[in-house]
Amino acid sequence: MRGPVKLAGLFLASLAAWYLGYLFADHIRKEKITFSIANLQDIGNKPVLRPPVPKRQKCDHWSPCSPGSYSYRILSGGGKAKLAKICFEDDLLISEQKGNVGRGINIAIVNYRTGKVTATQFFDMWEGDHSGEMVTFIKNAPEGSLLLMVTQDEGSTRLKNDAKKLVEELGSKQIWNMKFRSSWAFMAAKGFKLPDDIQKEKIIHSDKNNRYSGWPAEIQIEGCIPRNLI
């Protein structure tokens, strides 16, 4: 009689163990599902990390100038619609917004010690005789001035040799290479010397096959000028 009773006991014990195991597994499965759903909800509630917006630099430089430097950017006109700009320390000295940009050679004079503009003017080199006026304007710039020059449309047709020679004496290596609708940007110092390793001049000649069908293409120079040169 003991045999059947023992077998029945083992059977009942096995059945109880199986049932307890089933309940435990079912409980664990529900907890996992609940945990997974909670995790998904948390992901939806967490803020999305985005890279920081790059800080805008003076004169739209890619990287900032050091605190002991001036920033500058000189951009020539392009095509019929894009007008020349001269920016210094994030101040647009000559631009369409200022209403002081014109056909020919545009010049801004800046006091190097203060970083403030003292005069701006454009000289039409297609109509009229303004080359002599440009010579006078440059000669009247005080010692210790920065001169920033850029073309808009055409800047060579009525530019006379005495004006070219004066600009050459300021350090230009391209003024004699100016052609019809060449784009030209230049920066010079009067009474002191600029570092050799900064951009001071660029030129590009008009090409009838360019994207503007012969109108000037943009050219620019930009950089940082140390404030301790004088």
Q: Indicate the domain borders of the chain.
A: 2-44, 58-226
216: nearest Cα among 160, 165, 152, 121: 152
Which secondary-structure segment (H or E) carries 58? none
Highest mean pLDDT among 4-8, 27-31, 36-40, 119-123: 119-123
The region that residue 99 occupies, defined by phi over 0 for left and psi between -120 and 50 for alpha, beta otherwise, is: left
The model's confidence at residue 207, banded by pLDDT at 50, 70 and 90, is confident
The model's confidence at residue 39, banded by pLDDT at 50, 70 and 90, is low
Q: Say what the pLDDT of residue 46 is.
A: 60
d(CA 199, CA 151): 17
For 129-143, what is each residue's pLDDT tens digit? Answer: 999 999 999 999 999
Which residues are registered as beta bridge partners of 203?
Answer: 184
Q: Phi, psi at residue 135, to the nearest 5°?
A: -60, -45
**Pairing mode, strands 220-226 and 145-152:** unpaired
Other C-beta atoms within 10 Å of 8: how many? Answer: 10
The model's confidence at residue 173, banded by pLDDT at 50, 70 and 90, is very high
How far, in Å, are 110, 162, 169, 203, 210 from residue 88 at the CA level? 9, 28, 23, 20, 29
d(CA 180, CA 156): 6
**Pairing mode, strands 116-123 and 145-152:** unpaired
Q: Identify the residue with better confidence: 85 or 54.
A: 85
With contact defined as beta carbons under 8 Å apart, do 82 and 55 qualify? Answer: no
With contact defined as beta carbons under 8 Å apart, do 64 and 57 qualify? Answer: yes
**Mean pLDDT of all residues in 103-120:** 98
